Structure 1
Amino acid sequence: MKGVSTNHPDVERTDRLTAADAAAVFRLAGAAGDADGAYPLSEHTTLHLRHGGDRPAVHLLIRDGADVVGYAHVDTTDIVEGAAAELVVHPLRRRHGYGRALATAAMAVAAERDPAGRLRLWAHGDHPSASALALSLGFTRVRALWQMRRSLHTPVPEPVLADGVALRAFRPGADDEAWLAVNARAFADHPEQGRWTLPDLRTRMAEPWFDPAGFLLAVNADDDTLLGFHWTKVHGGDHDPIGEVYVLGVDPAAQGMGLGRTLTLAGLRHLREQGLSQVMLYVDEANRGAVALYTALGFARWATDVSYSR
């Protein structure tokens, strides 16, 4: 979410982007990410732009001739938490009212779908301009998501499995439903992760980065019941590769077995074996147990994404 001013540019609204407009949005997001040091769109939004999906969204665009210089993605499908939006303005077009216009248009979309007009705005990178815009429009800072990082050149202890627990790789097609069930239980209180469906899982499995060998499962050694998992990811592209603790979860019924630490260490060792030098993860600032675990394993806070609510 970027940009603050008092002008009123035209905002175009559509329920479906053309391939050309989606490509223009990715160029815009790339320019903003390069300037700010934080990519302005979440994975959920990026996948929706790339693949579409079964969750509808409203797209808001500001154009300067043939160029898309402002964009907002508004997801109104969460009836519990309310609509959520992400905004981005080109670095060379800021302070012209684009951010305020996009945020105001997103508020109008939310009001159409929800009589209470609830809306959450995500600011990736916690930039002061985003905070100023959100607060000026009556939003309140409600949630912070930390990005933490760790070097893989420092020692990674050997993971120790509890008695009766085995570690193996995810089997696409065979483990899908069992993983979704454990994921839903492990993240029952999580506003995004716990809602994943089979199409959500398979969309990510179709991504070029997906590697089942890095999707580690802790299972009961006797009957192969899934107890927990550590799904790792490798980011590459235009920058040096970096590993990620993508999703780490333990079935509530298997809590107390030390699986969180064991699975984290197993994943870190897997990523190091791929020749990576660094690993990152995202964790909710309020999840003190997870923050304590990752801090004890050598992670430190790197950046912050903030959610504002109205």
Structure 2
Amino acid sequence: MAIHTTDSLTAEDLDAARAVLTAAATADGREAVSEAGRLRLRVDAPRPGIRHLVQLAGSSPAGYAQVEAPEGLAAEPTATVELAVHPDLRRQGRGRQLLDAVLAAAGPRRTVDFWAHGGHPGAARLAEEYGARLVRELRQMRRTAPAPGVEPLPSGVTLRTFRPGQDDKAWLQLNARAFAHHPEQGSWTAGDLADRLVEPWFDPAGFFLATRPDPTGPEGAERLVGFHWTKVHPATVTEPALGEVYVVGVDPAEQGNGLGRALTAVGLRHLAQARGLETVLLYVDADNPAAIRVYERVGFAIHEVDLMYQVRTG
């Protein structure tokens, strides 16, 4: 068993990582690495703070781990990890070997958070073995129903769609305000947005922006106060085509005026009426009861959960 650690994937590394993740997704019925992690699977220059561990059994792909630490593992007290073992090679200790390699690379006295997507039982066993504690629950909720009715927008708010190249900066600023305390969403950079704008699924017609007139700017100026970005997942061998409430954000100054509810309804109607998708998914943290209540009121229910475990290195 060999584990190769690198900051920049070669074509061979990429093939091995993708082979593991594709096999794992087919066997488990869900992705083993998040969308952000999959976007980093490219043969290109190193991305700051991202390391890859590729595990081989002889010459065959056996496992893959991705480590995110903003200033590199040696300098940052917390690292976030996603990992997967090829389903043909599970229950042979390879997950333990891969996790040991991650923890060794992290160095002593570090905090390491690792995801168990779908609450995979293998990850739960590893967590128990390493004395890890559960620190986060990310719920996937789903809704299968006709489009909801129209919810009124707050007075003075108008709706339009996103304009790539023109709205990028203003949207990033709003996203940072709306998700100031969110561990991933609130830290998006221009590069994170650009990665998604070139993805095959991106459709500006499904990216809705709420605006108000900006009295501090020139005539006709506006400011963004909310958004609903939708996404469409193509059908797979295990799932039909699905819509997604990719992200809904509201400026903190607009909280409590019904804008989030109205934006949610706008996106759901778009997915149902324009895209023909009545089954829609979304992700929400379990410790965000206000958002959960909004989604439950329009028919969303828990489908599965992703769990984050935390362990300290010695």
In the superposition, the TM-score normalised over structure 2's length comes to: 0.90
Q: Provide the residue aligned with 1:256 in structure 2.
A: 256
1:105-134 CA-partner distances (Å, limit 9, x unpaired):
1111222xxx53110010101022211101
Contact 1:228 1:259 (8 Å CA) reproduced: yes
Shift of 1:80: 7.6
Q: Is the Cα–Cα contact under 8 Å of residues 2 and 57 in structure 2 kept in the other structure?
A: no
Matched, 1:93 2:89: yes
Shift of 1:277: 2.7
Q: Does 1:104 align with 2:96?
A: no
Change (3 A) 1:148 1:94: same
Structure 2 matches for 1:93-172, cutoff 5 A?
A: 93-111=89-107, 116-151=109-144, 153-172=145-164
**Structure 1 residue 91: deviation in Å?**
1.0
CA distance in 1, matches of 2:141, 2:15: 30
The 2-side partners of 1:29 and 1:270 are apart by 32
TM-superposed deviation, 1:184: 0.4
Candidates 218, 230, 235, aligned match of 1:232 = 230
Q: Offset at 1:10?
A: 3.0
- Equivalent-residue separation in structure 2 for 1:51 and 1:17 (angstroms): 5
Kindly state the Cα deviation for residue 253 of structure 1 after the two structures are TM-superposed: 1.3
Q: Is residue 146–residue 304 contact of structure 1 (8 Å, CA) maintained in 2?
A: yes
Structure 2: gaps spanning 5 or more residues: 215-220
> How many residue pairs align between the two structures?
298
CA distance in structure 2 between the partners assigned to 1:23 and 1:243 by the alignment = 29
Paired letter, 1:31 = A
What's the counterpart of residue 295 of structure 2?
A: 294
Tell me the CA shift for residue 56 of structure 1: 3.4
Query: Could you say which residue in structure 2 is the equivalent of 1:5?
Result: none
How far apart in 2 are the matches of 1:81 and 1:289?
Answer: 31
One of 4, 23, 29 as aligned partner of 1:12: 4
Three-state SS of the structure 2 residue aligned to 1:50 is: coil
Unaligned runs of 5+ residues in structure 1 are 1-8
Is the Cα contact below 8 Å between 2:228 and 2:245 reproduced in 1? yes
When structure 1 is superposed on structure 2, of 290-299 and 77-86 the one drifting more is 77-86
Identity of aligned residues (%): 49
Give, in angstroms, the shift of residue 51 of structure 1: 6.6
- For 1:32, what is the secondary structure of its paired residue? helix
Among 187, 193, 200, the alignment partner of 2:192 is: 200
- Give a deviation string over 1:144-194, Cα, whole Å, max 9, x none: 10000011x434111211111101001111111111111001111001111
- The residue number in structure 2 matching 1:31 is 23
- Per the TM alignment, residue 237 of structure 1 is displaced from its structure 2 partner at its CA by 5.6
TM-score by length of 1: 0.91
Name the stretch that deviates more: 66-75 or 287-296.
Answer: 66-75
